[in-house]
Structure 1
Amino acid sequence: MLVLKRKNGQGIKIGNDITVRILSVDKDGVVKIGIEAPREIKVFREEIYEEISQQNRSSSDFDIKLANVFKNKGP
Structure 2
Amino acid sequence: MLVLTRRSDESIRLGEDILITVLEIRGNQVRLGIKAPRGVRIFREELYQKTLKENLLAAGIDGEVFDALKEVFKKG
Q: Please give the TM-score of this superposition, normalised by the length of structure 1.
A: 0.74
Identity rate, percent:
36
Q: Any stretches of 5+ residues in structure 2 without a counterpart?
A: 62-76
- Which residue in 1 is equivalent to 2:43? 44
Write out per-residue CA displacement over residues 3-61 of structure 1, whole angstroms, 9 at most, x where no aligned residue.
Answer: 111111111011111111100101x1311111111111110111100011011111221
- Which residue in 2 is equivalent to 1:22? 22
**Which aligned segments of 4 or more residues in structure 1 are displaced greater than 6 angstroms?**
none
What are the equivalent positions in structure 2 for 1:1-75 lying under 5 Å apart? 1-26=1-26, 28-61=27-60
* Structure 1: distance between partners of 2:36 and 2:23: 16
* Structure 2: distance between partners of 1:54 and 1:7: 34
Q: Give the total of aligned pairs.
A: 61
Q: Please give the TM-score of this superposition, normalised by the length of structure 2.
A: 0.73
Give the CA RMSD over aligned residues: 1.2
**2:29 aligned partner, one-letter code:** V
* Structure 2: distance between partners of 1:59 and 1:37: 31
Point out the structure with max Rg over C-alpha: 1
